[in-house]
């Protein structure tokens, strides 16, 4: 990092919370020391993720939507580098739904089907020769239907994405010399001891962007490096991911959230739990991993629609 970036990071303050039983003190430390300590934690997560080839976990996730509703699900996740992923909803809305990426055959599509009553009807219709072609199971990565009822597509719900999200926030705040980091006492997550960091960022940090002809939130997200739903959430006048018009002005936030609390395991050195809050202090997302198993040796059949445990066509 350049000397100018370090100087801009001087505004960062690290509040050290003493373990329960001791008196709580707040210590203002040297900004460069604070920055280096935080970056070491980030680098240790990145190093740990480099050593992961595959993993399985059950994620308890909670997401807040623009109309104020909050949905909770438990999702089985299978992931194998570089990008093989399977998601199966075990509990909550759309129970029984499954997503699989990639679908094979050299294409860049997502395989998916709904759960619940809708999924039962869809499976029935697929048995009827004259109708089954009208019941889609393959979707483009940027199909807006994949965002219905959830914040992210299958490509974003994995540990690697969480590591990159946290690292980006910490390094961006250091570059701009804004925000605050609080270190809390260690806690257990699913029986694993974890370090607890709280990251605070200005909710109004970001920039205005003028929409160009043909833009969607997916193209804006790629060009800005920000998440699709984070942009959508911060622009209530936008109806959906493809509901943009040329000349429209939208706000692209600099940070994914105004406040994030992350529980980083001592072993593995990965984010085991993540809570994210919006600019009004409301819970925006939370993710907690249980039954986490690293480098279990997932095979091609774990990412094959013909897996007898799955319910694809």
In percent, the amount of the chain with pLDDT more than 90 equals 46
Find the angle CA(175)-CA(177)-CA(183) to the nearest 5 degrees: 100
Q: What mean pLDDT is predicted for residues 202-228?
A: 89
Residues 144 and 78 in one domain: yes
Establish if 86 belongs to a structural domain. yes
Residue 293 pLDDT greater than 50, yes or no: yes
Q: How many residues does the chain have?
A: 313
Verify that 59 and 135 share a domain, yes or no.
yes
Residues 106-126 have a mean pLDDT of: 61
Instruction: Give residue for tokens 């969607």.
Output: 216
Out of 115, 134, 150, pick the residue that ends a domain.
150
Residue 248, in any domain of the structure = yes
Q: What is the pLDDT of residues 137-154, one digit of tens each?
A: 777 777 777 767 777 777
Six-digit token string for 196: 């607890």
* Whole-number percent of the chain with pLDDT over 70: 80
Does any domain span residue 138? Answer: yes
For residue 309, being part of any structural domain is answered with no
Provide the 3-class DSSP secondary structure of residue 33.
Answer: helix
Highest mean pLDDT pick, 48-52, 64-68, 182-186? 48-52
146 CB-near residues (< 8 Å, 6+ apart): 99, 110, 112, 139, 153, 154
Same domain, 142 and 224: no
| 150-206 per-position pLDDT tens digit | 777 777 889 999 999 899 999 999 999 998 888 888 999 999 999 998 899 999 999
Q: In the predicted model, is pLDDT for residue 28 greater than 70?
A: no
Over range 257-265, report the average pLDDT: 94
Radius of gyration of the chain from its Cα atoms, rounded to whole angstroms: 21
pLDDT in tens, 83-103: 999 999 999 988 988 999 987
Domain total of the chain? 2
pLDDT over threshold 80, residue 40: yes
> Largest Cα–Cα distance of the chain, in whole Å?
72
What pLDDT score does 122 carry?
A: 45
pTM score, whole prediction: 0.80
Question: What's the rounded mean pLDDT across residues 252-260?
Answer: 92
Amino acid 6: pLDDT: 39
Residue 280 lies in a domain: no
Residue in this structure with the two tokens 């009553």, named with its chain if needed: 117
Do the domain assignments include residue 95? yes
**pLDDT value, residue 167:** 94
Last residue of a domain, one of 83, 117, 150: 150
189 - beta bridge partners?
Answer: 192
Is 219 contained in some domain? Answer: yes
- In this predicted model, which residue has the larger pLDDT, 20 or 109? 109
Task: Let me know if residue 119 belongs to a domain.
Answer: yes
Q: Identify whether residues 145 and 210 lie together within a single domain.
A: no
**Residue 210 sits in a domain of what CATH number?**
3.10.350.10
pLDDT of residue 193: 96
229: containing domain: 206-253
61: which strand partners? 73, 287
Q: Between these two residues, 305 and 103, which has the higher pLDDT value?
A: 305
Are both 145 and 215 inside the same structural domain? no
Confidence band for 25, pLDDT divided at 50, 70 and 90: very low
**30 — pLDDT class (breaks 50, 70, 90):** low
Is pLDDT of 247 > 70? Answer: yes
11, pLDDT greater than 50 = no
In a shared domain, residues 210 and 142: no
Binned at pLDDT 50, 70 and 90, residue 129 comes out as: low
Q: How would DSSP label each residue in 176-214? A: HT--EEEEEEEEEETTEEEEEEEEE--TT-EEEEEPPTT
Do 146 and 210 lie in a common domain? no
């Amino acid at each position: 990092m350049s000397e100018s970036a370090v100087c801009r990071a001087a505004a960062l303050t690290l509040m050290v919370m003493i373990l329960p039983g001791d008196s709580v003190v707040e210590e203002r430390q040297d900004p460069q020391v604070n920055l280096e300590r935080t970056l070491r934690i980030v680098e240790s997560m990145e190093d740990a993720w480099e050593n992961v080839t595959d993993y399985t976990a059950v994620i308890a996730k909670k997401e807040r939507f623009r109309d104020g509703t909050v949905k909770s699900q438990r999702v089985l996740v299978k992931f194998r580098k570089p990008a093989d992923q399977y998601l199966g909803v075990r509990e909550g809305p759309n129970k029984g739904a499954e997503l699989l990426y990639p679908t094979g055959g050299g294409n860049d599509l997502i395989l998916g089907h709904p759960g619940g009553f809708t999924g039962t009807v869809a499976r029935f219709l697929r048995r009827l020769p004259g109708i089954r072609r009208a019941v889609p199971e393959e979707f483009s990565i940027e199909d807006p239907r994949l965002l219905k009822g959830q914040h992210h597509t299958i490509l974003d719900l994995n540990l690697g994405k969480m590591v990159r999200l946290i690292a980006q926030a910490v390094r961006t705040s250091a570059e701009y010399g804004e925000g605050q980091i609080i270190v809390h006492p260690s806690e257990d997550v699913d029986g694993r001891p974890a370090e607890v960091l709280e990251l605070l960022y200005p909710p109004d940090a970001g920039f205005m962007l003028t929409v160009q002809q043909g833009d969607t939130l997916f193209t804006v997200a790629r060009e800005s490096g920000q998440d699709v739903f984070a942009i959508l959430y911060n622009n209530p006048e936008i109806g959906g991911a493809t509901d943009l018009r040329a000349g429209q002005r939208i706000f692209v936030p600099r940070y994914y959230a105004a406040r994030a609390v992350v529980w980083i395991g001592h072993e593995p050195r990965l984010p085991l739990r993540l809570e994210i809050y919006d600019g009004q202090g409301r819970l925006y997302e939370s993710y907690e991993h249980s039954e986490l198993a690293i480098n279990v040796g997932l095979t091609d059949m774990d990412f094959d629609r013909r897996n007898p445990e799955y319910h694809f066509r």
